[in-house]
Structure 1
Amino acid sequence: MNTNEGKAAIFDLDGTLLDSMDVWHQVDVDFFRSRNIPLTDDYMGIVNAMRPEEVARYTIKRYGLHDTPEELAKLWDLMVLEAYGNTVEAKPHAVEYLDYLKSSGARLAVATSLSPQVREVGMKHVGIRQYFDEVVSVEDTNAKSKHSPEVYLTAASRLGVAAKNCMVFEDLLVAVKAAKSAGMHVWAMEDDYSLGDRPAIKAMADGVISDFADAPKVL
């Protein structure tokens, strides 16, 4: 496959295209309350960049739970499915921006840690699924995490576009670092759950936005 021509944009979902991070926090609040476990301030910061199975294993180990990682991940999936299918909204002007890029001829992909069921429900709910040529999960890579650039490189390969011609949109510092290490241009979406990392994100990203109305019109 020739990957030297064309332009592409690769998007994270949670906290980037979807204004969804509050959903995960509420799931944590409800889950921890149901187990009578105190939810400490550092927990969200530690698990933010993990995929669900990693979060489950970490939570089980940290709090001495008797669930299996698969059981816990399935429980959380069920808790978030309703929210993603009914209450999650797109980030400001995300739909309009995707429509613009698609009409310009750019190739578009999602790079996410969300489970297939949750991501499909969320994208369909906010009306963006039809814009994407490829949807890539960290599960499709050997790294299985956004600490590695593999998910972005896999997305670029599937799109048939060279890494240097890809623009990545992310909200987490570890993800911004990973995409930059792949030789891609990276724009960061400001999200309240990345507030503590905002100075480092601004220093590393090619640009920072809080609204897709301000996203680059040329990739």
Structure 2
Amino acid sequence: MLKNIKAVIFDMDGTLIDSMWLWKTIDMEYLKRFGLTLPEDLQDEIEGMSFSETAAYFKKRFNLLDSVETIKDEWNKMAWSYYIEKVTMKEDAHQFLSHLKHHGYKTGIGTSNSKELVTLVMNKFKIDHFFHSIRTSCEVAKGKPSPDIYLQVAKDLMVLPEECLVFEDVPMGIMAAKNAGMKVCAIYDDFSKNITDEKIRLADYYVNGYTDVMELIRNEA
């Protein structure tokens, strides 16, 4: 898995941390403020979008008067307590990050989440020292499945795309990394368990968790 790889890049939500489940709840609560119900297709429609793109989508689709920045601020406030009190790291993710650091791999994060919540996660789990680059999709032209975010992280790390292995949990993210010319390992997440077959088809590797990754590494040694 790590042969000829110089850098490992991670999505955050659903990949390093168990958090994807909370966003549907936040979407429902947010729309309820305006007397709206959650459309069945909403989660599929916004998959991969940056935080800013998602806010712009909500504003247009639901004819909201609030600015994109106001919508983003509200989502950050609504998500804050969830991330502090209920979000956990994926099992053995810390062990894998320690392994990468010990063996000299460059590491980065390319996430669709907000900078504020990314900073909260880094501080809560004390993992910011593992990463040489932390980028959000709001910092590039287009969100996933565009390759922009992963190409930017690779540029930060000063490595070629083909020297990168990306960990992702949803199809749009997997496609973003593949569109960037990178290897991709899809990881199990409860939120996307109903599309596991699609994730396996799109990715180069598939694992149930970082325990599997550590086992693969030991077997390859």
TM-score (norm 1): 0.90
How far apart are the structure 1 equivalents of 2:58 and 2:141? 23
Unmatched segments (≥5 aa) in structure 2: none
Identity %: 32
Secondary structure (helix, strand or coil) at the match of 1:121 reads helix
* Deviation string, structure 1 residues 139-164 (Cα, Å, up to 9, x no partner): 33233x11211211111121122211
In structure 1, the residue matched to 2:32 is 33
Asked whether the equivalents of residues 52 and 138 of structure 2 are also in contact (C-alpha less than 8 Å), the reply is no
* Deviation string, structure 1 residues 60-119 (Cα, Å, up to 9, x no partner): 222222222211111111111222233211111111111111111111100112221110
Distance 1:207 1:6, change over 3 A: closer
How far apart are the structure 2 equivalents of 1:36 and 1:42? 18
Across the aligned residues of Structure 1 and Structure 2, the Cα RMSD in angstroms comes to: 1.9
Asked whether the equivalents of residues 95 and 127 of structure 1 are also in contact (C-alpha less than 8 Å), the reply is no
Asked whether the equivalents of residues 7 and 105 of structure 2 are also in contact (C-alpha less than 8 Å), the reply is yes
Superposition pairs of residues 1-219 of structure 1, within 5 angstroms: 7-143=6-142, 145-215=143-213, 216-217=216-217
TM-score (norm 2): 0.89
Asked whether the equivalents of residues 145 and 172 of structure 2 are also in contact (C-alpha less than 8 Å), the reply is yes
> Which amino acid letter does the alignment assign opposite residue 185 of structure 1?
K
How far apart are the structure 1 equivalents of 2:121 and 2:103? 25
Deviation at 1:186, TM superposition (A): 0.3
Asked whether the equivalents of residues 144 and 175 of structure 2 are also in contact (C-alpha less than 8 Å), the reply is no
Unmatched segments (≥5 aa) in structure 1: none
Task: Select between 159-168 and 27-36 the one with higher mean Cα deviation.
Answer: 27-36
> Which amino acid letter does the alignment assign opposite residue 107 of structure 2?
L
How far apart are the structure 1 equivalents of 2:47 and 2:33? 21
Runs of 4+ in structure 1 off by over 6 angstroms are none
Asked whether the equivalents of residues 6 and 161 of structure 1 are also in contact (C-alpha less than 8 Å), the reply is no
Instruction: Work out the number of aligned pairs and report it.
Output: 214
Deviation at 1:6, TM superposition (A): 6.6
How far apart are the structure 2 equivalents of 1:155 and 1:179? 11
